[in-house]
């Protein structure tokens, strides 16, 4: 099937033979799942986001929102997996939106994806700098500002990202096992002791799920999944991409949903439905540490404190790998400077893109430090909010692209995979995006003196980023269409 020159997406062609700019590898489903689930930072979510979801969201009913988010994203994944099988490109959202909706929307999606992963990564750099500064100072070591620790972590991540992906996958796998293990140990302690008020299904009662502010709770729940969809980014380095990528995607969504639902339920049971809100309000950031101390003793408390740091490190390393591969793909499509697409001759990694991403992270941390931003209340909270909204919009647009592509090409006639599931996922994601926008000021702390949310300067600037970056991509594609039609035609033809 010949690729058309109109704005409609082209039919996928067989990927060209591997060359000096192509990534290679033999990652299996387990290795890829480790890569993307580590990006979700399980312990950081359970220890940081879950208490905030309980406190600011729907209280006792918050665990059910992880299950709801899992269902929505699993429906989205059905279409994503179907598209992966017929579009042999490593660009994920960038490629899929391009084929389904056209090259200009595709490039706009690429820029929105870069915004998503860059903002979530830099937000965690702020948090990890804050945690390390406080933790190490408490051990009697010299006190350094948060940004100094953040820059040190950027350097370590840069070294690992520069080398072969196998090294990163092994590091992430080891850290992920530790995170999951300590959380399951806490849940086991709750199960064995019966919790603070006995074990129950109270968090899943409709009255609990709909209490408080479920829309805000849904924001925290969806944010916990950011990164799972990046399985398609590792297509070139997968052992058998047509089978490995779909399996890894399903495993990541189901695993994350079950784990977070179980862990947050255990957190509620640990303190009891009648007291969990008070505990979360007293110290949301320290809730997981206090829970570990209560059910695992001092040793468990120390382990949790250490693993919180490694959890955030795993998160930024995983997102570093995702961003570098997006940039590599864009470069090979002629949309970024050619030098960015270079592959290291020995490590077989997107080394040039890794250096660019490391430089970007350093620049952002330095700027935030110079502006005097608070690493948690501003760097972490603001930019995690941007990432949550951006990824929700991106997945909704991708669902639409999947539907349009399969309706037009008919290369896959399965209704559930190509129409029903993607449509249901689209509805769920569109609803979630609308809820996030409506509650965005509260998410980023843009409230008036009386505590009521308002769309002020902070909300306006951050929401503008979600509009501006895709607009830049759309404008670039428009210019290329007029001035460099050959490059424009290659927007969806990145080297695989």
pTM of the model: 0.82
Q: Which two structure tokens, joined as six digits, stand for 457? A: 């300067």
Question: Phi-psi category of 455—alpha, beta or left, where left has phi over 0 and alpha has psi -120 to 50?
Answer: beta
Tell me how far apart the alpha carbons of residues 77 and 24 are, in angstroms, rounded to a whole number: 24
For residue 352, give the 3-state DSSP assignment.
Answer: helix
CA distances from 479 to 111, 113, 121, 482 (A): 16, 21, 30, 5
pLDDT score for 219: 85
Report the 10 Å Cβ neighbour count for 477.
24
DSSP state of 87: -
CA distance 129 to 20: 37
Q: Which letter, b or e, does each residue of 67-95 get, where b requires 16 or more Cβ atoms within 10 Å of its Cβ?
A: bbbbebbbbbbbbbbbbbebbbbbbbbbb
In order of start, what are the domains of the chain with their CATH numbers?
A: 29-489 (1.20.1740.10)
> Facing residues of 238 across strands?
27
Find all residues with CB under 8 Å of 222, minimum gap 6, and list them: 69, 73, 388, 391, 392, 432, 436
Residue 40's pLDDT is 66
Query: What per-residue confidence (pLDDT) applies to 342?
Result: 78
pLDDT at 186: 96
Q: For residues 237 and 23, is the Cβ–Cβ distance under 8 A?
A: yes
The whole-number pLDDT of residue 7 equals 41
Q: Which DSSP string corresponds to 369-399?
A: HHTT--IIIIIIHHHHHHHHHHHHHHHHHHH
pLDDT tens digits for range 116-141? 989 988 998 998 888 888 766 666 66
List of E strands, 393-451: none
Q: Are 175 and 310 in contact (CB under 8 A)?
A: yes
| DSSP letter assigned to residue 18 | P
Under-70 pLDDT residues of the chain: 1-36, 38-40, 88-92, 135-141, 164-170, 172-173, 229-242, 345, 347-349, 449, 451, 492-496
């Amino acid at each position: 099937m010949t690729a058309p020159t109109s704005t409609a997406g082209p039919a996928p062609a067989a990927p060209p033979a591997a060359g000096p700019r192509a990534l290679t590898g033999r990652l299996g489903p387990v290795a890829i799942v480790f890569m993307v689930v580590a990006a979700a930072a399980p312990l950081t979510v359970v220890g940081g986001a879950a208490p905030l979801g309980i406190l600011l969201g729907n209280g006792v009913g918050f665990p059910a929102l992880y299950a709801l988010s899992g269902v929505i994203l699993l429906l989205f994944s059905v279409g994503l997996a179907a598209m992966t099988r017929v579009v042999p490109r490593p660009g994920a959202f960038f490629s899929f939106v391009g084929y389904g909706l056209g090259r200009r929307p595709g490039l706009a999606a690429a820029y929105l994806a870069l915004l998503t992963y860059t903002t979530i990564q830099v937000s965690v750099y702020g948090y990890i700098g804050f945690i390390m500064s406080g933790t190490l100072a408490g051990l009697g070591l010299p006190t350094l500002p948060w940004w100094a620790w953040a820059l040190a972590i950027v350097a370590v991540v840069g070294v690992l990202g520069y080398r072969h992906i196998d090294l990163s996958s092994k590091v992430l796998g080891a850290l992920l096992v530790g995170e999951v293990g300590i959380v399951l140990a806490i849940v086991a302690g709750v199960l064995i002791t019966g919790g603070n008020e006995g074990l129950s299904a109270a968090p899943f009662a409709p009255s609990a799920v709909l209490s408080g502010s479920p829309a805000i709770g849904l924001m925290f729940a969806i944010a916990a999944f950011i990164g799972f969809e990046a399985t398609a980014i590792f297509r070139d380095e997968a052992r058998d991409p047509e089978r490995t990528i779909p399996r890894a995607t399903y495993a990541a969504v189901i695993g994350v949903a079950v784990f977070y639902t179980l862990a947050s339920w255990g957190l509620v049971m640990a303190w009891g439905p009648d007291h969990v809100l008070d505990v979360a309000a007293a110290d949301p950031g320290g809730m997981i540490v206090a829970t570990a101390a209560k059910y695992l003793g001092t040793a468990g408390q120390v382990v949790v404190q250490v693993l919180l740091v490694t959890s955030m490190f795993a998160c930024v390393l995983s997102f570093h790998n995702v961003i570098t591969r997006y940039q590599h793909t864009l470069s090979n499509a002629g949309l970024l400077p050619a030098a960015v697409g270079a592959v290291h001759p020995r490590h077989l990694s997107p080394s040039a893109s890794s250096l660019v991403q490391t430089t970007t992270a350093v620049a952002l941390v330095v700027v935030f430090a110079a502006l005097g931003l608070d690493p948690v209340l501003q760097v972490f909270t603001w930019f995690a909010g941007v990432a949550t909204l951006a990824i929700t919009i991106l997945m909704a647009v991708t669902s639409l692209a999947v539907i349009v592509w399969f309706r037009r090409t008919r290369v896959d006639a399965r209704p559930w995979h190509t129409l029903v599931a993607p449509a249901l996922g689209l509805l769920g994601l569109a609803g979630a995006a609308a809820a996030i926008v409506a509650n965005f000021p509260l998410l980023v702390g843009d409230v008036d003196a009386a505590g009521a949310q308002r769309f002020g300067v902070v909300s306006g600037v951050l929401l503008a980023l979600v509009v501006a970056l895709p607009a830049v991509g759309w404008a670039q594609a428009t210019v290329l269409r007029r001035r460099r039609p050959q490059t424009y035609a290659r927007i969806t033809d990145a080297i695989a």
